[in-house]
């Protein structure tokens, strides 16, 4: 999810290589997920992600060196139909890339459904920041009520596993105008997941709508989802939208990462998804 971009690592770019140094307490876990993703994708979908060059788990801080991907991030500018189609194609390749017998040995990605729900219950015990208005607080209450009803109903979950990058930030999708292709970067939170959850991670990430220009409906229409996946997609989008509302509700008004009113807009998005 990477709710606080770039907080977990420092990046150094030199020519055709990128060096990432992991700075948080779980630095080795971040590094291991990144390195596993790079090596798997280099084997099964070369060119889609950076190529792994070197890893040093014992360095202080731990370090990964990878190739530099060409292109510019999708975040911050309108994503036209050509880029949207290329992004969907890249993700379809990524989701299918890792063979099943190898994928089942990959750990579930952080903040997948069960972990995310546990996190939301912890956050629910906290108070939003003083700047969170009545609309935000009411939407949080409605969201948690929905989550409790959902748990009592026992929504069946039996999704087909895929390899998921684990971060929906549009900054991680690089458009290469020379080839009209999308490359994918940043795999710190990657792991085994399912397609509906990963697509929800993207459509509900604040980067997809706070800047404008990303058509979530057109993006999702690029995928041939099963009836079960569509039901799961609706539930996962609600879950991810609620997650982002909590994140935004905790923002310090004196040190905002997003424009004023973002939390209120997110409250409206969640209520719309809840129907």
Number of structural domains the chain divides into:
1
Three-class secondary structure of residue 130 per DSSP = coil
Give the end-to-end CA distance of the chain in Å, rounded to a whole number. Answer: 24
pLDDT number for residue 129: 81
CATH code assigned at 100: 3.90.1200.10
Calculate the average pLDDT of the chain. 92
Distance of CA 31 to the CA centre of its chain: 17
Give the H/E segment covering residue 106: none
Q: Is residue 2 included in any domain, yes or no?
A: no
pTM recorded for the entire structure: 0.93
Q: Is residue 21 included in any domain, yes or no?
A: no
Higher pLDDT: 24 or 141? It is 141
Q: Name the DSSP letter for residue 108.
A: B
pLDDT number for residue 155: 64
pLDDT number for residue 1: 54
> Which range marks the domain in which residue 251 is found?
70-274
Least confident of 95-99, 168-172, 259-263: 259-263
Q: Is residue 186 included in any domain, yes or no?
A: yes
pLDDT number for residue 156: 63
Q: Is residue 61 included in any domain, yes or no?
A: no
- Residues 178, 273: Cα–Cα separation, whole Å: 38
Q: Is residue 200 included in any domain, yes or no?
A: yes
| Per-residue pLDDT band at 2 (split at 50, 70, 90) | very low
- Give per-residue pLDDT as tens, 166-181: 999 999 999 999 999 9
The percentage of the chain sitting over the pLDDT mark of 70, rounded to a whole number, equals 96
- Give per-residue pLDDT as tens, 195-235: 999 999 999 999 998 877 899 999 999 999 999 999 999 99
pLDDT number for residue 235: 95
Q: Is residue 110 included in any domain, yes or no?
A: yes
| Per-residue pLDDT band at 4 (split at 50, 70, 90) | very low
| Per-residue pLDDT band at 46 (split at 50, 70, 90) | very high
The percentage of the chain sitting over the pLDDT mark of 90, rounded to a whole number, equals 80
- Residues 240, 203: Cα–Cα separation, whole Å: 9
Q: Is residue 191 included in any domain, yes or no?
A: yes
Phi and psi torsions of 274, nearest 5°: -75, -15
Q: Is residue 147 included in any domain, yes or no?
A: yes
Contacts of 25 (CB under 8 A, 6+ apart): none
Rg (CA), the chain: 18
């Amino acid at each position: 999810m990477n709710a606080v971009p770039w907080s977990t690592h420092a990046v150094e770019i030199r020519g055709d290589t990128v060096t990432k140094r992991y700075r948080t307490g779980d630095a080795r876990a971040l590094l291991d997920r990144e390195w596993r993703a790079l090596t798997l994708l280099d084997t099964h979908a070369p060119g889609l992600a950076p190529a792994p060059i070197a890893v040093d788990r014992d360095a202080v801080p731990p370090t990964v060196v990878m190739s530099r991907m060409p292109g510019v991030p999708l975040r911050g500018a309108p994503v036209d139909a050509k880029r949207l189609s290329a992004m969907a194609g890249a993700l379809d390749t990524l989701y299918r890339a890792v063979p099943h017998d190898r994928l089942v040995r990959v750990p579930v990605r952080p903040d997948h459904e069960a972990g995310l729900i546990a996190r939301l219950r912890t956050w629910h015990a906290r108070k939003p920041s003083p700047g969170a208005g009545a609309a935000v607080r009411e939407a949080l209450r409605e969201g948690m009520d929905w989550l409790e009803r959902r748990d009592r109903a026992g929504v069946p979950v039996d999704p087909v596993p895929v390899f998921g990058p684990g971060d929906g930030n549009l900054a991680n999708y690089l458009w290469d105008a020379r080839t009209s292709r999308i490359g994918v970067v940043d795999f710190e939170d990657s792991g085994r997941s399912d397609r509906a959850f990963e697509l929800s991670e993207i459509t509900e990430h604040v980067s997809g709508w706070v800047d404008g220009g990303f058509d979530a409906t057109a993006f999702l229409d690029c995928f041939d989802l099963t009836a079960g996946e569509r039901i799961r997609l609706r539930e996962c989008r609600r879950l991810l939208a609620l997650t982002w509302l909590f994140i935004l509700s905790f923002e310090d008004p004196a040190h905002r990462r997003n424009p004023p009113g973002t939390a209120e807009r997110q409250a409206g998005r969640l209520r719309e998804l809840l129907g």
